[in-house]
Amino acid sequence: MALDDLPRLLLPVATRAGRPAVVAHRGSSSVAPQNTLAAFESAWRAGADAIELDVHLTADRRVVVLHDDTVDETTDGTGRVADLTLDALRGLDAGASFSRAYAGQRVPTFEDVTRLVAERPGIDLLVELKGIWSADDARLVAKEVDAAGLAGRVVVQSFWPPTVAALRDAAPHLARGLLLALRPDSTDELVQVCADLGVAACNPELALLRREPDLVDVLHDAGLRVLVWTADEPGEWLDLLRRGVDGVVTDRPDRLAGWLDGRLGTPDAPLAG
């Protein structure tokens, strides 16, 4: 995929005057319930460059936005997402456990989110498919992206190479990423896996960089973008800025955006001399 065809989220940090993309982890999840429309709206208002979210399939094969395999942690219901219908999920409260102010927030469908993003310029989507998906299942995600006209603003990703391969086969027009939490046996092998999957980004956990200090350089040398997750403190942001990462996934996009403004200037302003 040519540079001009990539979502802005995947532009190299060098083309951003050294300013990494601000990626809101499950939305602005420090101030609103994660993976809800309220969190996504808040992320857009905070000036995030992208929203990171997670998707599952319901029992009736609808794509919904939720992090866990079960609804127990973030709603007033119980049970596995894969065992519940969309109607059952929509009856749950996904906001009250975070704060009474958010009572009534629902588990959104992926269609709800693509519609919201389509109406709000300047923000991309980083979509994680949880677990193993077939190509037929992955097409359900791509269908919603295409229906909203967001193909140029979406990156799809997974920890699971078979799911990334399914995305490659089902929706080759969408930019892809490989998530990374475990220390690779070999960085050469990791780069080869990324090449085989045709990903544009390899996105490691923050803690992994402490064990693999050269990983960002290795991935950049392979032509890959690097979006690191999840960094919430200024000391972590400074370290990632010095490493030259292309994006920072954070629960605090409002604070990170302001911190970057203070160090580097606003995104459209010239850097201070």
Catalytic residue (choose from 25, 56, 173, 220): 25
Q: Which two tokens stand for residue 229?
A: 């997750």
- Round to whole Å and give the CA distance between 273 and 174: 38
Three-state secondary structure call for residue 101: helix
List 23's β-bridge partners, or say none: 50, 249
For residue 25, indicate whether it is catalytic: yes
For residue 142, report the phi and psi dihedrals to the nearest 5 degrees: -60, -35
Told to judge if 173 belongs to the known catalytic residues of this protein, a careful annotator would answer: no
- How long a stretch of residues is the chain? 273
Helix axes 135-147, 110-118, angle to 10 degrees: 30
Q: Which of 56, 67, 173, 220 is catalytic?
A: 67
> CA-CA distance, 49 to 216, in Å (whole number)?
21
What contacts 203, CB < 8 A, 6 or more positions away?
157, 177, 178, 179, 180, 226, 227, 228, 229, 249
Catalytic residues: 25, 67
